[in-house]
């Protein structure tokens, strides 16, 4: 993927994250792109909205993409997410066999794509997607992904 394609995918994920405002969920968005770059699945955090601990943006986007493809294997696909996946979401990406995971902001408290754990590149697993971290994203896009989360948590602390 080119940097322009990576940035475009993350902008779509950012737009999805903005849809969490009414539910009070942490603003994380995700999209799954097919091998040609078309969006085949979207998701945003819905843990609060659905009272579901597994309703993370990545899981919902992967489910939607699998439904769109009619199969659980998402070979050739890219998962783009605004925040580094947690262990559950990284595991779901591995199990879905996505080719690539792109993320816009690191998560030093729960990240499983290199920050705290590295599930996506664990050599003991049978599938290891390519990982595109924020360093390989345009600074403006990576900054926007981080800023959405910083602002959300700053507003929560003020209350």
Q: Give burial (CB, 10 Å; 0-12/13-18/19+) of 115.
A: middle
Long-range CB contacts (within 8 A, 24+) of 109-114: 110/84, 110/86, 111/84, 111/85, 111/86, 112/84, 112/85, 112/86, 112/87, 113/84, 113/85, 114/84
CATH number, residue 38 = 3.40.140.10
Whether 156 shows a pLDDT value over 90: the answer reads: no
* Known binding-site residue numbers for Zn(2+): 56, 86, 89
How many CB atoms lie under 10 A from the CB of residue 36? Answer: 7
Output the six-digit token pair for 92: 């779901």
> What pTM, to 2 d.p., does this model score?
0.96
Separation CA 13–CA 132 (nearest Å) = 15
What is the per-residue pLDDT across 18-66, written as a single tens digit (0 to 9) for each?
A: 999 888 999 999 999 999 999 999 999 999 999 999 999 999 999 999 9
Binding-site residue ranges? 56, 86, 89
Position 101 in a domain: yes
Q: Which residues are catalytic?
A: 58
What is the count of structural domains for the chain?
1
61 falls within a domain: yes
The pLDDT value recorded for residue 157 is 76
Domain residue limits at 102: 3-151
């Amino acid at each position: 993927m080119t940097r322009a394609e990576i940035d475009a995918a993350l902008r779509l994920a950012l737009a999805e994250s903005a849809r969490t405002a009414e539910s009070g969920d942490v603003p994380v968005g995700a999209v799954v792109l097919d091998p040609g770059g078309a969006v085949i699945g979207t998701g945003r955090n819905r843990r609060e909205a659905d009272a579901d601990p597994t309703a993370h943006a990545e899981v919902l986007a992967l489910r939607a993409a699998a439904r769109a493809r009619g199969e659980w294997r998402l070979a050739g696909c890219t998962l783009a997410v605004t925040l580094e996946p947690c262990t559950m979401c990284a595991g779901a990406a591995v199990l879905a066999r996505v080719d690539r995971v792109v993320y816009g902001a690191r998560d030093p408290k729960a990240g499983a794509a290199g920050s705290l754990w590295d599930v996506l590149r664990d050599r003991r697993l049978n599938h290891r997607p390519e990982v595109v971290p924020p360093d390989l994203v345009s600074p403006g896009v990576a900054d926007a992904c981080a800023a959405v989360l910083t602002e959300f948590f700053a507003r929560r602390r003020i209350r």
